[in-house]
């Protein structure tokens, strides 16, 4: 003898929150979006449009002649030099943070190796391009 389980046509298997059309886990329950036991999502959601190329914002900073007064590190999978330490001798230390990247010199020359940072070292109008917020 076999039994056939019949569904109750009046039972709601949708979320009990008014206006939500998402299926719930059980009758009269809530969906995952409205579950009170679910921890909040702490990640910042970034909406990317398909087919649009997103470029980082490069901040130009004018620096004095001579050494920069920074400790840097190069990563093979990233462009630019990551700032790891800021010395007291750095003339623009209030404009940068540890983890920022130096990506270009004078707006045109890309920084890919240590020697690139010495370009225009004696130029009084030297400008470096910084990208903020890279985690080293």
Tell me how many domains the chain contains. 2
| Model pLDDT, residue 37 | 67
* Residue 91, token pair as written in the block: 């003339």
Q: Is 53 within a domain?
A: no
Interatomic CA distance for residues 80 and 73, integer angstroms: 9
Compute how many other C-beta atoms are within 10 angstroms of the C-beta atom of residue 69: 16
The answer to whether residue 20 is domain-embedded is yes
The pairing of beta strand 109-110 with beta strand 127-131: unpaired
What pLDDT was estimated at residue 136? Answer: 40
Question: What is the domain extent for residue 107?
Answer: 63-131
Whether 110 is covered by a domain: the verdict is: yes
Place of tokens 């206006």: 19
pLDDT of residue 77: 76
- Tell me if 88 is assigned to some domain: yes
Q: State the CATH number of the domain containing residue 71.
A: 2.30.42.10
What pTM, to 2 d.p., does this model score?
Answer: 0.58
Q: Are residues 33 and 73 in the same domain?
A: no
What pLDDT is stored for residue 134 in this prediction? 45
The pair of three-digit structure tokens given for residue 66, joined into one six-digit string: 């001579």
Q: Are residues 88 and 28 in the same domain?
A: no
Low-confidence ranges of the chain (pLDDT < 50): 43, 134-136
User: Tell me, what's the pLDDT at 135?
Assistant: 46
Assigned token pair, 39 = 């921890």
Distance CA 60, CA 73 (A): 20
Give the model's pLDDT for residue 94: 93
- Output the CA torsion 100→101→105→107 (10° steps): -90
């Amino acid at each position: 003898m076999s039994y056939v389980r019949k569904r109750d046509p009046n039972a709601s298997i949708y979320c009990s929150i008014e206006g939500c059309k998402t299926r719930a886990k059980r009758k009269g329950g809530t969906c995952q979006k409205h579950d009170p036991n679910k921890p909040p999502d702490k990640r910042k959601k970034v909406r990317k449009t398909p087919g649009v190329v997103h470029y980082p914002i490069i901040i130009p900073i004018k620096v004095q002649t001579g050494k920069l007064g920074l400790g840097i590190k190069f990563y093979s999978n990233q462009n630019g030099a990551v700032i790891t330490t800021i010395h007291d001798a750095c003339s623009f230390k209030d404009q940068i943070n540890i983890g920022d990247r130096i990506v270009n010199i004078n707006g045109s020359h890309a920084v890919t190796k240590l020697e690139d940072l010495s370009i225009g070292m004696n130029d009084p109008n030297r400008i470096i391009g910084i990208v903020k917020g890279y985690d080293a």
